[in-house]
Amino acid sequence: MENWRDCTYPVMERFLTVQGEGAYTGAAAWFIRLGGCDVGCAWCDVKESWDVDAHPRVEAGALVDEAVASGAPICVITGGEPAMHDLVALTAGLQDAGIRTHIETSGTHPLTGAWDWVTFSPKRFKAPLDGIYTRTDELKVIVVNRKDLEWGQAHAGKMSKGVRLYFQPEWDRRDQVLTYTVEYVQAHPEWRISLQTHKYLGLP
């Protein structure tokens, strides 16, 4: 892609950490958190990311250079809702540099860019687009109450065979929801439990 380095994105933060959730838990990863979100989860722990205009725009070239310098083999693009942005330039640069591209999305916007791993985390606050189901590698359903278990199962029913299925207790309610989430997974072994390991480790 010509002049991809000059494309800019609203960036709230970027940092080296260890992926704390899902299939790549424990792997070193460079995170880029983009600004902008129109989903509005009541329990969101990064509500400061929602306003797209509150964050400085950074060139894709600089973002890729930082990811390379981190030494991490994976770059996770998250938000906010990162799919609000055209990510062709950023993912092209990352993949050209030999870095895996992962995205965490609610599926409410069409995916752009080239992805090695797509984590789809649907939210009740805004319905996902149908196109996300065929692009998903990993379904991550946040559990706030018991209803989320069957709601998550309904989404799983739309997935292709082989998609990883995870229930993740919402952090502030983990003590309340973990018991029945464990019971559900024991009865439905196609599911696994994802814990926010990075928070237990004190990492961003």
Q: What does the chain come to in residues?
A: 204
What's the first-to-final CA gap in the chain, in angstroms? 32
Q: Where are the alpha helices (DSSP H) in the chain?
A: 60-70, 88-96, 147-156, 174-187, 197-200
Can you give the pLDDT at residue 2? 63
Can you give the pLDDT at residue 42? 84
Each residue of 144-185: pLDDT tens digit? Answer: 999 999 999 999 999 989 999 999 999 999 999 999 999 999
Can you give the pLDDT at residue 43? 80
Can you give the pLDDT at residue 44? 87
Go through the domains of the chain in sequence order and give each one's CATH number: 4-134+191-200 (3.20.20.70)
Each residue of 95-143: pLDDT tens digit? Answer: 999 999 999 999 999 999 999 999 999 999 899 999 999 999 999 999 9
Average pLDDT of the segment spanning 41-53: 89
Q: Residue for token digits 């292709």?
A: 160
Each residue of 57-83: pLDDT tens digit? Answer: 999 999 999 999 999 999 999 999 999
Average pLDDT of the segment spanning 42-68: 94
What predicted TM-score, i.e. pTM, was given to this entire model?
A: 0.96
Residue pair 132/106 in contact (Cβ under 8 Å)? The answer is: no
